[in-house]
Amino acid sequence: STNSNNIATARRVLVANGDNKKKKIFINDANGNNIASFILPRFNSITFIKKSTDRVYGQNVVNTGDGFTNATNLTFQKVTTNHAD
């Protein structure tokens, strides 16, 4: 997606869904190839690990089989830690 972001080259990212719609989170490599995705339930958050060059974005899940729309109330934030990978 053109809206994808590497979240300041973060390795750990917190994504929070502050909406009553579930979201699909996409992780793309530096070349734009989708390498992972997952569904984030409504009003939930998760922290995940990615490469610093990977880019992430999310979309609203409309209905099963109906596809996706641009995400609303979705926040990505870099997680800073001293923990070794």
Give the pLDDT score at 85.
60
Question: 65 or 71: which carries more pLDDT confidence?
Answer: 71
> Does residue 84 surpass a pLDDT of 80?
no
Average pLDDT over residues 69-82: 87
More confident position, 2 or 46: 46
Please state, as a whole number, how many other Cβ atoms lie within 10 Å of the Cβ of residue 82.
4
Residues 85 and 83: their CA atoms lie apart, in Å, by 7
Mean pLDDT (the chain) is: 87
| Per-residue confidence (pLDDT) for residue 65, from 0 to 100 | 65
Q: Quote the percentage of the chain above a pLDDT of 70.
A: 89
